């Protein structure tokens, strides 16, 4: 159902498989069926995760898998109730997304320009930072994605949903410069060692690490998702609204986009400090 009806990504399917396998093993050890456990049994399973030292965030992910599983059983008539509906979600610690400053992004791009594989590194980083795309979306781009005027990219995101994102002049020029380095066109904008296949996440992670080192940044602070957070944070800081940002990031629910409201709060504080008559100290 997750694959056929929801078009879930490969990594999502792997995560659900692992979580439900763990639940199935727990149920078997308790002498029960995974499809027949009651709410008390589910609470016992979540408690066992805490006993094993798993974080609240991991427990919440397992609970999400259990809820989807039991909704499926209910819809298919395997069960007449949904015991997962009686469970409370674990309290998650509030963590702000990690992102780079605009100066640090400039340093990262400068570092990319110093690499042997500069055309690849610059094009990938420019596109990531200009669009806020997920790394899986960037690496799955085909060379023909830049056909026409190259002003926008059509992206297939999570759940097989398509969205359009505008491409900056710098990102478009970097991508075209990358294509110009090739003797013959290939399928992928960012091919791997085997040109018939796209670059892997591991291959891109190495390029990103080298660019960070060359730019004088700590590689531990730099990742594709940090660049996605940087895009979102910088857009809001410069006046973008949450709804537009939701569309650009491909979030199904604006609640997901609201993790960036810390940037809005900072902007509003600066706005009040700069323009409110009583904020000027008298």
Quote the CA–CA distance of 267 and 48 in Å, as a whole number.
43
Pairing of strands 162-166, 152-156: antiparallel
Is 70 known to be catalytic?
Answer: no
Is 275 known to be catalytic?
Answer: no
* Secondary structure class of 161 (helix, strand, coil): coil
Quote the CA–CA distance of 136 and 200 in Å, as a whole number.
9
Catalytic residue (choose from 158, 163, 209, 262): 158
CA proximity to 100, closest of 233, 230, 236:
230
* Secondary structure class of 126 (helix, strand, coil): helix
Catalytic residue (choose from 62, 172, 229, 251): 251
Is 62 known to be catalytic?
Answer: no
Catalytic residue (choose from 71, 225, 262, 267): 225
DSSP string, 35-95: TT--HHHHHHHHHHHHHTT--HHHHHHHHHHHHHHHHHHHHTTS-S--GGGGPPPPPPPP-
Is 276 known to be catalytic?
Answer: no
Burial class (CB in 10 A: 0-12, 13-18, 19+), 240: middle
Token pair of 156, please?
């297939």
Quote the CA–CA distance of 167 and 152 in Å, as a whole number.
5
Is 234 known to be catalytic?
Answer: no
Is 260 known to be catalytic?
Answer: yes
CA distances from 63 to 23, 74, 94 (A): 10, 16, 18
Catalytic residue (choose from 134, 172, 229, 234): 134
Catalytic residue (choose from 62, 70, 172, 228): 228
Hey, what's the torsion of the CAs at 102, 103, 106, 111, to 10 degrees? -130
Q: Give the residue numbers annotated as catalytic, written as ranges.
A: 134, 158, 225, 228, 251, 260
């Amino acid at each position: 159902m997750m694959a056929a009806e929801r078009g879930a990504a490969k990594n999502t399917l792997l995560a659900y498989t692992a979580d439900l396998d763990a639940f199935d093993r727990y149920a078997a050890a308790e002498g029960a069926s995974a499809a027949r456990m009651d709410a008390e049994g589910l609470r016992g399973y979540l408690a066992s995760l805490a006993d094993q030292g798993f974080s609240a965030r991991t427990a919440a992910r397992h609970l999400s898998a259990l809820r989807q599983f039991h909704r499926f059983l209910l819809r298919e008539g395997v069960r007449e109730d949904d015991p997962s509906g009686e469970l409370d979600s674990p309290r998650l610690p509030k963590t702000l997304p990690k992102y780079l400053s605009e100066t640090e992004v400039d340093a990262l791009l400068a570092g990319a320009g110093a690499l042997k594989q500069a055309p690849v590194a610059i094009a990938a980083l420019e596109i990531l930072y200009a669009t806020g795309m997920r790394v899986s979306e960037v690496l799955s781009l085909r060379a023909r994605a830049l056909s026409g005027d190259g002003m926008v990219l059509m992206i297939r995101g999570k759940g097989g949903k398509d969205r359009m994102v505008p491409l900056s002049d710098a990102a478009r020029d970097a991508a075209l410069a990358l294509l110009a380095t090739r003797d013959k066109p290939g399928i992928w904008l960012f091919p791997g060692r085997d040109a018939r296949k796209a670059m892997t996440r591991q291959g891109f992670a190495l390029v990103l690490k080298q660019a960070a080192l060359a730019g004088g940044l700590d590689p531990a602070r730099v990742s594709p998702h940090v660049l996605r957070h940087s895009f979102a944070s910088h857009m809001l800081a410069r006046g973008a609204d949450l709804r537009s940002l939701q569309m650009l990031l491909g979030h199904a629910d604006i609640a997901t986009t609201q993790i960036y409201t810390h940037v809005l709060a900072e902007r509003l504080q600066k706005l009040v400090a700069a323009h409110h008559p009583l904020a000027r100290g008298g």
